[in-house]
Chains A and B, each alone.
Chain A
Amino acid sequence: MADYVKMWEDLGMDLETHDLLCQVLPTAVGDVFMTQENRPKAMDFWDLVISEVHGIRPAELIEEQKKGRKVFGTFCVFVPDEVIVAANGIVTGLCGGSQFWVPGGEAVLPKNTCPLIKASVGARLGRTCPFFRIADVYVGETTCDGKKKAYEILGQDVPMLIMDVPQMKRPKDILKWKDEIAEFAEKVEEITGNRITVENLKEAIRIINEKRKALKRVYEARKSECLPISGRDSLLMTQISFFDDPERCAQMCNRLADELEERIRDGVSVVPAGTKRILLTGTPLAVPNWKLHNIIETSGAAVVCEEMCTGTRYFENLVDDSGETLEELFMALSERYMKNNCACFTPNPGRIEDIIRLAREYKADGVIDCSLKFCGLYDIEKKSVAEALKAEGIPVLSLETDYEDSDAGQLRTRIEAFVEMLNER
Chain B
Amino acid sequence: MNVCTMNTGNDKRAYSPDGMQEGSPYAVGIDIGSTCAKTIVMDRKGTIVYRNVRPTGWSSVETAEAIRQDLLANPRLKDLGCSLPRGGEDQGPVLRCVATGYGRISVPYADKCVTEISCHAKGAVHLFGSPDLNVIDIGGQDTKLIVIDNSMVAEFVMNDKCSAGTGRFLEIMANSLSVTPAELCEMASRGKETHISSLCTVFAESEVINLIGRGTPREDIAYAVVDSIVQKVKAQSGKLSFGKGALCLTGGLCDFAYFREMLGRTFRGEVLTSPDARFAGAVGAALYALALDVRL
Contacts and interface: CB of A to CB of B under 8 A. Distances in A.
Given A406-B161, A407-B161, A413-B116, A420 B6 contact: no
Contacts of B268: none
B59 interface: no
Interface string A410-425: 1001101101111111
A170 to B, nearest CB: 32
A386 B154 CA distance: 13
A409 interface: yes
Interface stretch (B8-16, B65-73, B249-257, B271-279): B8-16
A300 B160 contact: no
A340 B106 CA distance: 45
Interface in B97-129: 102, 114-118
Given A400-B160, A417-B156, A423 B102 contact: no
Interface residues on B, range: 20 to 34
Given A409-B102, A413-B117, A420 B161 contact: no
A409 B6 CA distance: 15
B209 interface: no
A275 B7 CA distance: 11
B161 A421 contact: no
Contact of B158 (A274, A414, A423): A414
B212 to A, nearest CB: 28
B177 interface: no
A386 B115 CA distance: 22
B10 A410 contact: no
A294 B200 CA distance: 29
A409 B154 CA distance: 22
Interface of A: 272, 274-275, 299-300, 383, 386, 390, 398, 400, 406-407, 409-410, 413-414, 416-417, 419-425
Interface of B: 6-10, 12, 102, 114-118, 142, 152-154, 156, 158, 160-161, 239, 241
21 contacts: A275-B8, A299-B6, A383-B239, A386-B239, A390-B241, A410-B160, A413-B116, A413-B117, A417-B115, A417-B116, A417-B117, A417-B153, A419-B9, A420-B153, A421-B152, A422-B9, A423-B7, A423-B8, A423-B9, A424-B9, A424-B152
Kindly list the 8 A-B residue pairs having the minimum CB-CB distance in the complex, ordered from nearest: A423-B9, A417-B117, A417-B115, A421-B153, A420-B118, A416-B115, A300-B6, A424-B152
